[in-house]
Amino acid sequence: MAKIEVSNVSLTYPVYGANAHSFKTTMLNMATGGLLKKDCKSLSVEALKDVSFQLKTGDRLALIGHNGAGKSTLLKVLAKIYEPTQGRLLVEGRVNCLFDILMGMDHELTGYENIKLRGLILNLSKKEIQEIIPKVEEFSELGSFMKMPIKTYSSGMKMRLAFGMIINVFSEILLIDEVVNIGDSKFIQKAKHHIKSLVHESDIMVFSSHDPQLIKEFCNQALLLKNGVIQAFGTVEEILALHNK
């Protein structure tokens, strides 16, 4: 059974080169949020501070908060993209991430070769990789471009390929950062249908969104973040009401 245990997790980023002229630009370009910490020798951002919660099979958690609250950072910690500077993180179960979906793709390789590469990264067997190839072909609608290096693709085509690979890999734990815009309205509806299937099939989901309707549809719990600190944890209705005050 899948589970997530986050115990007093903190994450602090050092900020380099933040002198008087570059400081404002540096902070504007950072997507971590959190609290600014400064001493005479260094500058850092405390993106998460003493975050603790537990999730078990059946939990569908919404991360709620304004931009810069730490939602995306927390998702990347759960995905083990970022390592906490303090605290303990336990994640049991295969993790599938619906964010930064182009990460790990090789632009010199073809669409087919990138499917195999992503499969190896996810520790899929050769049989599992072969099984998802026709599913990705059908979903992405790329046709003969699947045989071409993805450096020849438009940005939308790359997104379709990456999205097709993600939604066709079964995982116990699903991490979603908003809903990715991957094409025209018809294709987006098709993608949302697959996302719903992923949500229902997964044991645990953590979903960051500003859309209250999607949160109510997908989630049964919610966590409110501000400056990387948990403000409240409870039902979706309770946390949305608190957030809207």
183-226 pLDDT, tens digit per residue, is: 566 777 777 778 888 888 899 999 998 889 989 999 999 999 99
Render pLDDT for 111-139 as a digit per residue (tens, 0 to 9): 999 999 988 888 889 999 999 999 999 99
Q: CB-based contacts of 42: which residues, under 8 Å, 6+ apart?
A: 14
pLDDT of residue 193: 79
pTM: 0.81
Percent of the chain with pLDDT over 70: 86
Beta strand 35-38 with 60-64 is unpaired
Mean pLDDT confidence for 41-68: 91
The domain 3-93+208-243: what is its CATH number?
A: 3.40.50.300
Measure the N-to-C terminal CA separation of the chain; round to a whole number of Å.
37
Ranges of each domain in the chain? 3-93+208-243, 111-202
Please report where in the chains the tokens 């049964």 appear, as a residue.
220
Does 76 have pLDDT greater than 90? yes
pLDDT of residue 38: 57
pLDDT of residue 20: 45
pLDDT of residue 237: 96
